């Protein structure tokens, strides 16, 4: 079980559970064409964004496999919500997880993604005692691939196709890190 004390703090960020009051910032991200360019859906309308936010606010702890913890990424300096990061506890016989991050384009390229993801990896490996954490991105999403490599995640060599809802098949890069690799960092 993972029950973080909130906010989870990093040098420049606070990570806290998403709330319905984050709708405006959340909509600004998920309706932005640059944000969804490598995701499986088109820019979100306000109603769709509200539904997505409601799904992401279900858990502030991880009690069992199959649950996902989604946290707002908040700038300490301004209090602005600039993205969200999620840790999923995957079902299966092994304790594996996955990480997903979305940042507003205005805040990309400043190291915030790496800072938030490193903290999520720490929570997964040290708090939940996961064995392995995965991350995936569209093969054309060079920034996300670089982020995962910069965190020390290893590229799993095979490119896999995934159904993309825009409608076509896209290639996906899969990265992972083992708990033993995390401890050696």
User: For the domain that residue 83 is a member of, what is the CATH number?
Assistant: 3.40.630.30
CA distance 101 to 87: 9
Q: Give domain status of residue 119, yes or no.
A: yes
- Residue 81's pLDDT is 98
Q: Give domain status of residue 163, yes or no.
A: no
User: Is pTM beyond 0.85 here?
Assistant: yes
| CB-side neighbour CA atoms (13 Å) of 134 | 14
Q: Does position 124 have pLDDT exceeding 50, yes or no?
A: yes
Q: Does position 165 have pLDDT exceeding 50, yes or no?
A: no
Q: Give domain status of residue 120, yes or no.
A: yes
The H or E element containing residue 29 is: helix 23-30
What average pLDDT does the structure give for the chain?
Answer: 92
Give yes or no for a contact between 147 and 120, defined as CB atoms under 8 angstroms apart: no
Q: Give domain status of residue 87, yes or no.
A: yes
Longest dimension (CA), the chain: 44
* Domain range for 93: 8-133
Q: Does position 55 have pLDDT exceeding 70, yes or no?
A: yes
Strand runs labelled E in the chain = 8-9, 13-17, 68-75, 81-89, 96-103, 132-138, 154-164, 168-178
SS3 at position 160: strand
Q: Give domain status of residue 154, yes or no.
A: no
The gap from C-alpha 128 to its chain's centroid, in whole angstroms, comes to 16
| CB-side neighbour CA atoms (13 Å) of 56 | 27
- Identify the band that residue 42 occupies on the pLDDT scale cut at 50, 70 and 90: confident
Of residues 98, 100, 106, the one with CA closest to residue 29: 106
Q: Give domain status of residue 167, yes or no.
A: no
Q: Does position 144 have pLDDT exceeding 50, yes or no?
A: yes
Beta-strand pair 96-103/132-138:
parallel
Counting residues of the chain whose pLDDT is more than 70, the rounded percentage is 93
Structural domain count of the chain: 1
CA distance 110 to 116: 12
In angstroms, the Cα distances linking 140 to 11, 92, 154, 159 are 30, 29, 17, 12
pLDDT digits (tens, 9 = 90+) for 61-103: 999 999 999 999 999 999 999 999 999 999 987 899 999 999 9
Token match 């539904």: residue? 51
Q: Give domain status of residue 3, yes or no.
A: no
Strand runs labelled E in 30-145 = 68-75, 81-89, 96-103, 132-138
Q: Give domain status of residue 55, yes or no.
A: yes
- Identify the band that residue 162 occupies on the pLDDT scale cut at 50, 70 and 90: low
- Residue 94's pLDDT is 82
- The CB density around residue 159, as the number of other CB atoms within 10 Å, is 12
């Amino acid at each position: 079980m993972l029950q973080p004390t909130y906010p989870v703090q990093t040098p420049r960020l606070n990570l806290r559970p998403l709330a319905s009051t984050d709708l405006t910032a959340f909509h600004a991200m998920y309706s932005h064409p640059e944000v969804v360019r490598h995701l499986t859906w088109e820019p979100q309308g306000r109603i769709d964004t509200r539904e997505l936010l409601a799904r992401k606010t279900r858990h502030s702890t991880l009690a069992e496999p199959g649950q996902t913890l989604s946290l707002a990424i908040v700038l300490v300096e301004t209090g602005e919500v600039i993205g969200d990061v999620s840790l999923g506890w995957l079902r299966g016989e092994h304790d594996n997880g996955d990480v997903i991050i979305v940042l507003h384009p205005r805040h990309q390229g400043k190291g915030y993604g790496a800072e938030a993801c490193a903290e999520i990896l720490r929570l997964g490996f040290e708090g939940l005692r996961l064995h392995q954490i995965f991350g995936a991105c569209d093969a054309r999403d060079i920034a996300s691939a670089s982020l995962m490599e910069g965190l020390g995640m290893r590229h799993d060599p095979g490119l896999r196709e995934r159904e993309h809802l825009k409608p076509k098949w896209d290639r996906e890069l899969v990265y992972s890190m083992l708990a033993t690799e995390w401890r050696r960092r």
